[in-house]
Structure 1
Amino acid sequence: MNQGRFITLEGGEGTGKSTQARAVANALEKDGLKVLLTREPGGTPAAETIRELLLTGAEEKWTIRTEALLFAAARAEHCAKLIRPALARGEWVICDRFIDSSRAYQSVSGQLSDSEILDIHRIGSEYLMPDRTFILDLPEEDALRRAAARDRGESDRIGGRDSSYHRAVMANFRKFAVDDPDRIRLIDASQSVEAVTADLVQNLDGLTA
């Protein structure tokens, strides 16, 4: 049996990751592929419990180091019990966020470096990396508008951080795309939903053969 493929969608708040993850999964299923759609943090019962701990409560609930370790713990569970078994069965795994979100978000404060976050990932998840990562890129004002419409005034603990924080997160994501163009593709998320999906599917080149 052939090993499956691992695809992740990344980006800031309101860029359409969840919508596009579903759309890509649907497109691949129409091509006859077996697809598992999942998300981070989450994907397994234990990881979903950690998700609730991470995304609810006051900003000061966790230190940045504790937050990074909780994300890594959820990911370790997710990889061991859901993602790796699905890939071994030959399935395509489409994940809404993965390690690049930890890199982009948890390094903003300067308390953790990118290399430290990747070290935690190596220990927790044996350094599992996606075959292809898409970063959905949207102008800040459009992302803010979409996120506000989605959240209806009830942002989660991380989504509710100030605009300078989210601007720094997107700057990190864009840097990742420049630094690792073989794995990471930057996608213009200001297009129509259908056009973004078409871009994503087209940028699976080299993986579907």
Structure 2
Amino acid sequence: MLDAGQVCAHCFKQLHFIELPYCRLCARPFASQDEAGKKDICLDCDTSYVPWQHCRAAFVYNEGFKKLIMPLKYGDQQKSLQFLSYFMYRSAQDLIAKADYIMPVPLHKKRLRYRKYNQSALLAWQLGRKGNTRVLPMGLMRIKETIVLGHLSKKERRVLLQNAFIVHPKYKQYLENKRIILVDDVMTTGSTMAECVETLLKAGAKHIDIIAAAKVS
């Protein structure tokens, strides 16, 4: 499927790119501008607390995207890194241009040891290079180990993730009144992002935007 960062034509056709119109808070695509309305916010976001300002994602999470992300996330293969980061940057170039720092959603040290690297940090590095923006790969730390969250509801996720993250003391001084881009590979309910964002806001960050490779829709 993937060779030297290039996706074959058959697999490329399986990808669902997120283009306008989409929800500005979760990147969920709308069927039409009429559905998006004047605010460009989906019903879920309009009726929920969302602590960040904007969210962008390059792809809808589907079977085609899974072929890209699974080897990167679990297979110790980084061939898709350039491809994914290119389209992430394309989807959020304007946000990155305004940001002071880019930070990845962190893994707990046990999971990091098992996987060997944090795929979100690798994507953050690529976005930083493309946008000439400083990356703080260890700015956030995950201090609470949790079970896999895939089967849990949004409410259950938020309960498990309470106090799961802290700002590394070394980097707290950098965050005061700054604009931060938070990067993750896949955005599902946004519960992990919300906990990270609230941690950053408490540490003094002023404005936080989200970039994900894919949005579960």
For normalisation by structure 2, the TM-score amounts to: 0.34
Higher helix share: 1
For normalisation by structure 1, the TM-score amounts to: 0.35
Higher strand share: 2
- Larger RCO, structures 1/2 (Cα 8 Å, 6+ apart): 1
